Amino acid sequence: MGDRLKGKVAIVVGAGQAPGSSPAIGNGRATAMLFAREGAKVLAVDLRLDSAQETVAKIEGEGGEAAALAADVTDEASMQAMVAACVERFGRIDILHNNVGISVEGGDAPITEITSDSFDRIVAVNLRSIVFACKHALPVMQAQGGGAIINISSMAAQNTYPWVTYKATKSAMIEMTRQIAIQNAEYGIRANVILPGLMDTPMAVDRRAEAFDRPRADIAAERDAKVPLKGKMGTGWDIAHAALFLASDEAGFITGVALPVDGGSSCRVG
């Protein structure tokens, strides 16, 4: 157990984990666990309460403090209730970590094939959810005189990507984070966004294997081959460590930054 977040309270939205047969850990669960290891009290939020509770059990098993909460990120009232529940239980909000996102499982498709229902659902999960989480958390942070917001975008925002809605929402998230950063700097609130590259997580690999009815190992091997750094995808822990830095006082003069965590993939030109 460390102390880089000692005395801080963190909401991790998407702290559960997508179902999958692999032992891989998701970005949200890894982040919630690492925040707790470094001294934060964590409100682990997920659509599936049982998954959030699994994360809490892991945190408590390591001696950390956490509570689970079920919330529907597409519902503003649910996001408002999440913020209220955190303040009621822990007294403040120092860190808001937004980790939800869907793509193919939400029906994403090329622009010539996307349906209005799929487009609206993915926008609601990937982008609108963060707008309303921030809408209700920011007044708490403003009153406190500080806080840190970390949003999870994707390198799909900058790289070639076959489906339209995920790319559009993850791109919009970058500029929205920069807007939050500049408009709340006077309150001591920092806002940054992480851009994961190819990651070995249940959502990224297991769901693709299921969606395309292919062996997980084949999907993983194809993704590994695209990563310059050691020819291996990153893991949820890589995202968690980046988030820990941005949440900590070590990043106290960093705001409005989009941080690639991609094993060098963004270094390629042409």
Active site residues: 166
For residues 37 and 6, the answer to whether their CB atoms sit within 8 Å is no
Dist. CA 132–CA 151, nearest whole Å: 13
Dist. CA 113–CA 161, nearest whole Å: 15
Using only the alpha carbons of the chain, give its radius of gyration: 17
For residues 197 and 227, the answer to whether their CB atoms sit within 8 Å is yes
The gap from C-alpha 176 to its chain's centroid, in whole angstroms, comes to: 15
Residue with tokens 């990043």: 251
Dist. CA 80–CA 239, nearest whole Å: 26
* Dihedral in degrees, nearest 10, Cα atoms 208, 261, 234, 213: 10
Closest CA to 167 of 217, 111, 219, 121: 111
Strand pairing report for 95-98 and 189-196: unpaired
